[in-house]
Structure 1
Amino acid sequence: MTITQAAVVEGPGAPFTLREVELDEPRQGEILVRMKAAGICHTDLTVAAGLIPFPLPGVLGHEGAGVVEEVGPGVTKVRPGDHVVLTFTSCGGCASCRLGHPAYCTTWIPQNLIGGKRADGSSPISRDGTQLGGRFFGQSSFSELAIADQRSVVKVVDDLPFELLAPLGCSIQTGTGAVWNTLKPEPGSSIAVIGTGSVGLAAVMGAALMPVAEIIAVGRRQDQLELAAKFGATHTVDSSQADLATALREITAGAGVDYVVEAVGNPDVLRGGIEALAPRGAVAVVGAPPYGVEVSIDVHRLLPGRRVLGVCEGDSDPDRLIPLLARLIKAGRLPIEPLVKEYRFADIQSAVDDFKAGKNLKTILRFG
């Protein structure tokens, strides 16, 4: 058993507080990782608020980067000293996993969001002999040392800063993957990205690496829209000053936009994106509103081949996509550095408060 410090959420609505916890030794298929950086994501805060039924007290965190300390029995994909990114986990055996779509694993929700335990009912994290909720997204990376499921661990190059690697575990792969894996825009097509947070801006960067004709960034903050333009957006729309569907149709000379990434999680925004679609167009729904939120649409809008596609984690196969994203960062083709604001791990609650206040695009905790 190993003693380490982790950010524990004691119950719904409680703050993140640093506490000593005990970690099991890595078991079959598990990896002990010394964390170097971890990103804060809306999903972490949603769980901490008690809006997703993860077992609390518990340890969250699902955008991690670090160095392998030890591997458990049966682990061959990494070895001690390897630099790794921690991402979501999956079973590896269901039809979706076998076909290269582990983000749609049949066990995704219990293994990543709400389980908090191994398949045998145990947690790798405890405190004073009492088990805590752990294995969040197969990792619980808000901890100086983390026990991660091997399917959550992806080996990457060892010459990139950890603060740039950590966001690849969720937000960057989600935004780029929504464009590359789900929408797959044809050359000369148009794409609108609604939402200019880290996921939306990653989608803009991903679109800029494809031969599309128009990339339209839609948001409410001028500084983020200016950043989107630097990342490759050909047009920007301030949605607080214009009707979304009307603005998108005007930019496309009345034809409608071919593809939309909705990264806000607002039903009215999603409806506007659907209304702006060209025939045979598609909207990728990335933003996640609270459970139970519904969107009403005129079915006749869909009959000309328009599609609404839900997207989880960019439909990523992490072992393939994350190393590619790392190589693109290294080559200067995926410029995510302006998104990142760093905080010490010890200041996690201040980092969370600033993130909630909208002060940062991608909040990164640094360990050590």
Structure 2
Amino acid sequence: MTTPISAHVLREPRGTFQLADGIELGDPRPDEVLVRYHSTGLCHTDLFARDVFHQAEFPAAVYGHEGIGVVEAVGAGVTDFAEGDRVMASYASCGRCRTCLTGRPFNCVQFNDINFALARADGSYKATADGQPVGSSFFGQSSFGTHALVSERDLAKVPEWVAPDDEYLLGPLGCGVQTGAGAILNVLRPGPTDSLVISGTGAVGLSGLLAAAAAGVGTIIAVDIIPERLALAPDLGATHVIDGNEEDQVEQIHDLTGGGATHAFDTTGVAPVLTRLVDGLAWGGNLGIVGAAPGMTLDLLPVMQLGRRVQGIVEGNSVPRVFIPQLLELRRQGRFPLEKLVTTYPFAELEQAIAATNAGEAVKAVLVH
């Protein structure tokens, strides 16, 4: 038996996502769960896949990787979930490599191969259309559809106390929000007497800002070139903002922090921005980096000379089943107002959500079924 679904399908590199019916999803394998999505977030990684990853020789594909929904069926070997459970999907990992077995699935040695694949690890496809394969395993979930087959390992339960009306907020916790918040809470860990510079105030950067405010960080500086984002930052907890177009950014950081920031977090992957962040650090300061851009480089001399540290961060170094409930608890306490980042769109309006995101009108766009 198969499950008929609708999904936003990409058929050519840099093309448009087109909502299509007539896609058939297979039955769950022993370790898989059939999820009917209620909503899904839009992440820049989806657009990276559209523009860079998707190749002409690939089949039609369904992307999306910030899904939340309800379990409709489970494979024979699934033990942690049952029909009717509310679940959030996050990134995929193999569960068998050294880093997975030591509690670091975010550093899975097969991370890229698994998450950027359009098929299962054995090469099989989860979905077909008119007898032809449809890529439907992006980050293990392909949430730009009404349904998906997701490995049990890649799911987290929605706590019972979360109101149904708030479910639309939770999908982004599976990637963008946990990446930003985890970078602060799991990796950099600044405290009340520390100072933090966040470069790039999109969904990831502002999630980090929310986390820093929740942790009581004393000085939080937001840097961006989009005035609307900078205007939002103080409402989320920033103590200062800096226009990323200004030439004296390093001097401003040193002035605001009394000699240099103890921590910095970059979400842009732009080489000149990284250089400024390193120069803005105090002796022994820490810089966390997520994402990358073509040609990204960093001069290590100023890093080594002043004992600074630079660390790459993947998915906020988060174990989703552990970290996502922590973020939800912070929100329940009123310390993580995630709703201030989210703008909703009907499920059919993916292209409109993309346009609004690219224009800076939406921080975190969420498609609601």
Instruction: Give RMSD over aligned pairs.
Output: 1.6
* Aligned mates of 1:184, 1:296 — CA distance in 2: 23
* Aligned mates of 2:211, 2:55 — CA distance in 1: 33
State the match for 2:16 in structure 1.
15
SS at match of 2:284: strand
State the match for 1:86 in structure 2.
89
The within-5 A match list for 1:90-105 is 90-105=93-108
State the match for 1:283 in structure 2.
287
Is the 1:156–1:326 Cα contact (8 Å) retained in structure 2?
Answer: no
Deviation sequence 1:56-82 (CA, Å, 0-9, x none): 410000011111111112111211111
Give the residue type in structure 2 aligned to 1:60. Y
Task: Point out the more displaced range, 202-211 or 296-305.
Answer: 296-305
Residue 150 (structure 1) aligned with residue 152 (structure 2): yes
Give the residue type in structure 1 aligned to 2:98. A
Residue 196 (structure 1) aligned with residue 197 (structure 2): no
Is the 1:259–1:282 Cα contact (8 Å) retained in structure 2?
Answer: yes
Shift of 1:323: 1.5
Is the 1:58–1:132 Cα contact (8 Å) retained in structure 2?
Answer: yes
* Aligned mates of 1:360, 1:60 — CA distance in 2: 20
Is the 1:103–1:317 Cα contact (8 Å) retained in structure 2?
Answer: yes
* Aligned mates of 2:360, 2:60 — CA distance in 1: 26
SS at match of 1:247: helix
Runs of 4+ in 1 over 6 A off after TM superposition: none
Shift of 1:300: 4.1
* Aligned mates of 1:203, 1:335 — CA distance in 2: 12
* Aligned mates of 1:77, 1:246 — CA distance in 2: 52
State the match for 2:217 in structure 1.
212
The within-5 A match list for 1:1-368 is 1-20=2-21, 21-51=23-53, 55-113=58-116, 115-158=117-160, 159-160=162-163, 161-253=166-258, 255-290=259-294, 293-297=295-299, 299-367=301-369
Give the residue type in structure 1 aligned to 2:180. G
Is the 2:89–2:171 Cα contact (8 Å) retained in structure 1?
Answer: yes
Shift of 1:29: 0.9
SS at match of 1:196: coil
SS at match of 1:341: strand
* Aligned mates of 1:166, 1:277 — CA distance in 2: 34
Task: Point out the more displaced range, 94-103 or 256-265.
Answer: 94-103
Structure 2 unaligned regions, length at least 5: none
Is the 2:191–2:218 Cα contact (8 Å) retained in structure 1?
Answer: no
* Aligned mates of 2:100, 2:79 — CA distance in 1: 19
* Aligned mates of 1:105, 1:328 — CA distance in 2: 27
Is the 1:103–1:312 Cα contact (8 Å) retained in structure 2?
Answer: yes
Task: Point out the more displaced range, 98-107 or 347-356.
Answer: 347-356
SS at match of 2:52: coil
Q: What TM-score does the superposition give when structure 1 sets the normalisation length?
A: 0.94
Shift of 1:336: 1.3
Shift of 1:283: 0.6
Is the 1:12–1:56 Cα contact (8 Å) retained in structure 2?
Answer: no
Structure 1 unaligned regions, length at least 5: none
SS at match of 1:11: coil
* Aligned mates of 1:330, 1:288 — CA distance in 2: 33
Is the 2:59–2:133 Cα contact (8 Å) retained in structure 1?
Answer: no
* Aligned mates of 1:295, 1:222 — CA distance in 2: 27
Give the residue type in structure 1 aligned to 2:76. P
